[in-house]
Chains A and B, each alone.
Chain A
Amino acid sequence: MMSKDTHKYIQALLQQHGQSLPAQQQALLAAFANSEMMEQAYAEIIRIQQRIMESWKENIDIADVKSKPLPVPNAQVGQPYLFTLDPAKAGLPALSFFDLAVPPESGLVYNAADFTLSGKPLTAGTFPLSFRFRVAASAEDAPLQEKVISLLVNADPKSLWKNLDSDTTDIYWKPDTDQARLAMGDKTLIVASKRGRSHAHEGRFRDDDFGAANLAGGWGIIAVADGAGSAKFSRRGSKIVCDAVVNFFKEKITNAHWADLDNAIVAAQTSATPDHQKTLSRLVIDYLGKAAYDAHQQLNAAAAEKEAPTRDFATTLLFLLVKKFDFGYFVASFMVGDGGMGIYSKDTGQVFTLGTPDGGEFAGQTRFVSMPEIFKDESFYRRFSIRTIPDFTALVLMTDGITDPKFQTDANLTKVEYWNALWDDLQGPEHRVLDRNAAQASQALLDWLDFWSPGNHDDRTIAILF
């Protein structure tokens, strides 16, 4: 076998070098190729060729390892990190050895026994990891090759937030936080409003606002509003509309008006005929609708005074009237924009949402009380809600700074498990917000507003009647 290969090889070699090899030389060639010396020479050539081939394979494998990405997932400061290094899975050529040298300041260590990179990073930055390897095609004692991989450690987003004061000299300045606590009938109202981290980071203003008051005849009003983030003077807009609806009921609704409403409620309660229901609906739409329109007009007036378009004062508006009757509580509400209102009863496991948030197909799209079409559209009538209820655990109004992190979707706003979670969080051992006799209850609520929720750093306002 070997001699036949030797023969063929020598024949090809001679022809390659221009030897014609006529027929009479064939016997001579056979004897020449069959000699021990030629056999040995041929074997040597084959060995050298194999070494060349192996060396080539080694070279391309090394180049392959060096050029192909060996991704190591990004880490984050303070978060436990665990990654198992698997070069074969990353599509690298076979390796007879590899390890990873990790700079200690990264806070991670490599364990060669199980190929894991783990630890808890301490500092943000990019760290060079030295991947040392020997390809399977290399000799066992071949020197190790090196490839540098970048490990990226992200900062903890919490550590990046700045808290810059807003400009107190601005004409529309308002405090970065606000709170209130007042007795309302046999319940207590606590309200807290706080500038979001995204505004604090830039030294911008709180765009949210609220208003609340006890009115004539045992009625109470509660309002919250969220100025549009993109509108220049929305911080003023949210204050204007909250003040407007509170003042409307204080000043424009007389005792006679209240008596009409009370009578209509009692009539509708005692004999729920369509006529009685209609009278009540008409009064609610009349009073609350006029209050909302007054708020809209006041935005127009403020804009005219500032010589700016009304949309610069764009704001949402959620408000409700509440009063205790013999049969229980009567609540009527109006809502433009996002956020949410609900009546929560823990014992019965029920929640009634008041109104439907206005939303678009993308996040952050909503409607504002500054828009004139709000009062013209057919949907105007769907902005009102009426509810009677024997008793409740809490009546809650929230801007989207609360509903986004705590409820995520409009559908969840109607699910009692989300309200249970909110309630448990508020009165849990960490917060203990809900002590109605404590003078600092609204401060506790304000502290609660600091809760952490990734990506949710809008202004937060919540009003709780309980």
Chain B
Amino acid sequence: MRRLPVYLLLDTSGSMRGERIEAVKNGLEVLVSRLRQDPYALESVWISIITFDREVKQLLPLTALEALQLPEIVTPESGPTNLGAALNILAQRLDMEVSKSTAERKGDWRPLLFVMTDGKPSDLADYRAAIPLIRRKGLASIVACAAGAEAKDEYLKELTDNVVHLDTADSTTLLSFFKWVSDTIGVGNQSVGATDNLVLPPPPEEVHVVI
């Protein structure tokens, strides 16, 4: 069976502590439960969650949506936002976890990547070095979300053309973002896996597409 691998890279640096991380957790719950209402997603979506702060952790290895149980997410008191290190770990995981087609094996659908941060990469040199590495992985789409006023769009633009900005990183806004993510992954989006450029569904009012 062909899987649709979905990688979520989530910022858990100090600034996410408190309401924001609670909103992210809530958003993940909603994302997963919405996808579970979608018959196509239920049979094909596999999700991995990688968090980054000073450390990068794959909290959830690529797991079938039907079997998935959300892991506990914690944030340190303070510390940097090592998005570059996260991309390097992601590249390794993509190699290990995603199947490619051979004559003897049916490959997965092209993976989707969602990155969410409320700041900017602290390890900028590593971040910039990792971008071409990720680009070579044949992802169907990369959607980057800059959450909150301090989040920097311009660095995310280096990673992908699909950057969205949330003016405020409160629970309502983050929730609508995660709902939009579920629409992007779901059956409604026929272009998943089939084209070079994923067609993003129209984002909700709170989510601005950065041109």
Inter-subunit contact B43/A363 (CB<8 Å): no
Inter-subunit contact A71/B100 (CB<8 Å): no
How would residues 144 to 163 of chain A score, 1 for a CB under 8 Å from any chain B CB and 0 otherwise? 00000000101101101100
With known contacts A74-B67, A74-B69, A362–B42 Cβ distance under 8 A: no
Inter-subunit contact A158/B194 (CB<8 Å): no
B190 / chain A contacts, CB cutoff of 8 Å: 198-199, 202, 204, 229-230
How would residues 12 to 45 of chain B score, 1 for a CB under 8 Å from any chain A CB and 0 otherwise? 0000000000000000000000001111101110
Inter-subunit contact A362/B39 (CB<8 Å): no
Inter-subunit contact B194/A154 (CB<8 Å): no
Return the chain B residue nearest A412 by Cβ.
B104
Return the chain B residue nearest A363 by Cβ.
B2
- The yes or no answer to B201 lying at the interface (CB within 8 A) is no
A409's partner among B36, B103, B138, B194 (CB-CB below 8 A) is B103
Inter-subunit contact B42/A160 (CB<8 Å): yes
With known contacts A198-B187, A361-B138, A76–B109 Cβ distance under 8 A: no
The A-B contact count (CB < 8 A) is 103
**Once bound together, how far apart are the Cα atoms of A229 and B190, in whole Å?**
6
How would residues 186 to 212 of chain A score, 1 for a CB under 8 Å from any chain B CB and 0 otherwise? 000000000001110110100000000
Return the chain B residue nearest A158 by Cβ.
B39
Return the chain B residue nearest A453 by Cβ.
B1
Nearest 10 pairs of A and B residues by beta carbon: A160-B39, A230-B195, A230-B191, A364-B193, A411-B103, A157-B39, A361-B100, A230-B194, A455-B1, A363-B2
Write the residues of chain A forming the contact surface with B, with a CB cutoff of 8 angstroms.
69, 71, 73-74, 76, 124, 152, 154-155, 157-158, 160-161, 197-199, 201-202, 204, 228-230, 359-365, 404, 408-411, 454-457
Determine the main DSSP class of A at the interface with B: loop
B104's partner among A157, A360, A409, A456 (CB-CB below 8 A) is A409
A360 / chain B contacts, CB cutoff of 8 Å: 101, 107
Inter-subunit contact B107/A155 (CB<8 Å): no
**Once bound together, how far apart are the Cα atoms of A455 and B42, in whole Å?**
9
Determine the main DSSP class of B at the interface with A: loop
With known contacts A155-B36, A230-B190, A455-B2, A409–B43 Cβ distance under 8 A: no
B44 / chain A contacts, CB cutoff of 8 Å: 455
**Once bound together, how far apart are the Cα atoms of A105 and B132, in whole Å?**
52
Nearest CB of chain B from residue A229's CB, rounded to whole Å: 5
B40's partner among A152, A361, A409, A457 (CB-CB below 8 A) is A457
Inter-subunit contact A359/B101 (CB<8 Å): yes
- The yes or no answer to B188 lying at the interface (CB within 8 A) is yes
Inter-subunit contact A363/B38 (CB<8 Å): no
- The yes or no answer to B206 lying at the interface (CB within 8 A) is no
Q: A359-B101, A362-B101 are in contact. List 4 more A-B contacts (CB 8 A).
A: A199-B190, A363-B2, A363-B109, A410-B103
A455 / chain B contacts, CB cutoff of 8 Å: 1-3, 40, 43-44
Inter-subunit contact A71/B69 (CB<8 Å): yes
Of the A-B pairs whose beta carbons lie under 8 Å apart in the complex, a sample of 11, sorted by A's number, is: A74-B68, A157-B39, A161-B39, A198-B190, A202-B190, A361-B138, A362-B101, A363-B108, A404-B106, A409-B104, A455-B2
